[in-house]
Structure 1
Amino acid sequence: MKPFRFATTATTGLVSLSQMQETARFAESVGFATLVFADHLDGQYAPIPLLTAAALATERIQVCSYVLNVDFRHPAVLAQELATLDRLSEGRLAIGLGAGWSRNEYLATGIPFEPVGARVSRVREAVAVLDGCFGDKPFTYAGKHYTITDYDGQPKPWRQRPPFLLGGGGRKMLGLAAQVADIIGLAPRVPPSRPGGVYFDPASITVAATAEKIDWIRAAAGERFDDIELSTYASATAGYGPPVIVTDAALATARTHVDDINARTGATLTVDDYLDSPHVWIGTIDQLAEKCRSLRERLGISHFMLSPPEVCAELVERLAGL
């Protein structure tokens, strides 16, 4: 089994530079492996400047976009920014890429929100372009979305290929991740209509649904499956408080959430299914530690993105690296 690794975010919203860097140093001190920053167009800073500022304020912790929307940037331009960041951090960059899911961001900016197959195809080509830019010689690439001609990307990263993190909740994106990613983030599916304002499909957050996603990954990855690090994140408490809720009243808290989710969506999620979900982190530190062990034993998941770091510090100090 792979050792436990934990990721967290050092900011939400528009916090000050000093506050963000202080949180980054705290996360490093308690044993978080990675700092992550999201990529959205509403109510937050741009991720690459944040990653740079966090890297320059720390010494060991990895920095990672979680995840860059490929539709927002040409990959050859992005390659220069990422390689610069990897060099400035002396090899501490992980590259998170995604196909985009927030339709409102596309509608507001006029960027076409194409069907998922087209968006996943663009991610596949973006990875190929990034790999070409990071290579040791000029390359040419002719795809449906990008055309590169005898281009030698500069600068080169600290390492030839920083680790890639890709993820999703659907078979197309997870199949691509299985072929090219080092870390795969397991996510809930996002329903197009968001019934009741709930952004995840309740049926997609269960252990059974997660096991099915891992089966898709295993089938697509073939022999490289054992080298892949499986990751999950606390996403299904959104709208009910912080991503991780440390409490002695897990059942009562979960029951309130489940009743609301079912009422809004018409789902039939049970409290047990909700508390067992790899995307729900509610309980005492002992209960959450046991959940980490269970998810690694049952599903092979060893990488967890949990926030806020102050709430999760005791859990991380207890398990990181084991």
Structure 2
Amino acid sequence: MRPFRFAAVIRMAGSAREWAERARRLEDSGFGALLVPDHLTGPRFAPVAAMTAAACATSRLKIGTLVLANDYRHPAVLAKEAATVDVLSDGRLEFGLGTGWMAADYDAAGLRLDPPGARIDRLAEAIEVIKSLWRGGPVTHAGEHYHLDGLEQLPLPVQRPGPPLMLGAGGARMLRLAAREADIVNLTMRVRADGSGPDTADGGPGAFRRKVGIVRDAAGDRFGSLELGTSILRLGPGGATAAWSAADPAAQADTPQVLTGGPGEIADRLRGWRDELGLSYYVLHHETDLEAFTPVVAALAGT
């Protein structure tokens, strides 16, 4: 059974000093990772610079993304940036990657939002390219979406064969891709094809359990090596609604994404989800919930 790990999404700060203080606060509170989102709109830092600054302010805290949008960068660029961050953080990068999905980002930047299937195909090929570059040596790749001709990149990541790959997944195709390729699977609701937000019809405990089943079946012998987790969208009846989502978290009532009760009740609930489904990695989506959630982290982290 995997020990519990906890992360928090931190989006922005008013200064370098404030950003560093937030990172150190997470580290001192027992959180294992600081994660940054990747969107072109809204009040959010750019992920690579933000991760690097957080790594420089801490010594143990992992830094990562939830998640980088593959459509915004060529995978050769992503591989180079990620390897550099891994070196500069002494091997503390968690590499979260996704297709890109938020229509508002695409529209505002003049980018084309392709159908989900095309974005998933592109992501799968990007993962192949990135992993090949991290292994080292010249890489030649002739795919449907990307072409490399003897590209060799340095530095290589400190973590071998590369930083742990986290994929967020809600739909069946993404869940199967995560089962095959990821080290960490962050279970979510399926995103609407038009990029307007998560599909609330995909919510609820039954759907959540089915997602774990899809991952288990697709992973086969790999399943035991996967770290399963999810994002906490709401903490308590009056908690904040996660900013990434256009959906009402009520659709995820009675799942690990909506946690109610005091710290002891929540800790018991998380132990139950780990016993039943193997979920051990929880990401808090709102800084406003940090104070209330820290006692849970203190009770469970590493156990």
Residue in structure 2 matched with residue 16 of structure 1 by the alignment: 15
* Pick aligned residue for 1:218 from 211, 216, 219: 216
2:205–2:253 CA contact under 8 A, matched in 1 = no
Shift of 1:141: 1.0
Corresponding position of 1:241: none
> Among 257, 278, 284, which residue is 1:279 paired with?
257
Partner of 2:185: 184
Instruction: Show CA shifts across 1:233-272 (max 9, x none).
Output: 023x4xxxxxx34xxxx4xx59xx9xxxxxx99x9x9x8x
SS in 1 for 2:260: strand
How far residue 182 of structure 1 moved from its aligned partner, in angstroms, is 0.3
Contact 2:192 2:199 (8 Å CA) reproduced: yes
After TM superposition, give the deviation of residue 211 of structure 1 in Å: 0.9
Aligned length: 293
1:107-256 mapped onto 2 (5 Å cutoff): 107-160=107-160, 161-192=162-193, 199-235=197-233, 237=234, 244-245=235-236, 250=237, 253=238
Q: Does 1:40 find its partner at 2:39?
A: yes
- Between the two proteins, what is the percent identity of the paired residues? 39
For residue 311 of structure 1, report the CA deviation from its aligned partner.
2.9
Residue in structure 1 matched with residue 27 of structure 2 by the alignment: 28
Distance in 1 (CA, whole Å) between partners of 2:210 and 2:292 is 30
- Letter of the structure 1 residue corresponding to residue 21 of structure 2: E
CA distance in 1, matches of 2:194, 2:222: 36
Q: Tell me if the contact between 1:203 and 1:209 (Cα under 8 Å) persists in the aligned partners.
A: no
Q: Counterparts of 1:166 and 1:201 in 2: how far apart (Å)?
A: 18
Q: Could you tell me which amino acid in structure 1 is paired with residue 70 of structure 2?
A: V
Conserved? CA contact 2:232–2:256, under 8 Å: yes
TM-score norm. by structure 2 comes to 0.90
For 2:297, the equivalent position in structure 1 comes to 316
Residue 15 (structure 1) shift: 2.9
Secondary structure of the residue aligned to 1:117 is helix
1:66 aligns with 2:66: yes
Name the larger-Rg structure: 1
Over aligned residue pairs, what C-alpha RMSD do you find? Answer: 2.2
**Distance in 2, Cα, partners of 1:314 & 1:279:** 18
Residues 227/7 of structure 1: CA separation in 2 closer, same or farther (3 Å cut): same
**C-alpha offsets along residues 183-213 of structure 1, whole Å, 9 cap, x if unaligned?**
001001223468xx8x333342322111111
What are structure 2's unaligned runs of at least 5 residues?
Answer: none
TM-score, normalising length from structure 1?
0.85
Q: Secondary structure at the match of 2:44?
A: coil
- Tell whether the 8 Å contact from 2:13 to 2:19 is kept in structure 1 after alignment: no
**CA distance, structure 2, for counterparts of residue 45 and residue 214 of structure 1:** 32
The answer on whether the counterparts of 1:205 and 1:278 sit within 8 Å (CA) in structure 2 is: no
Q: 1:278 to 1:203 in 2, by over 3 A?
A: farther
Structure 2 CA distance, aligned partners of 1:293 and 1:4? 9
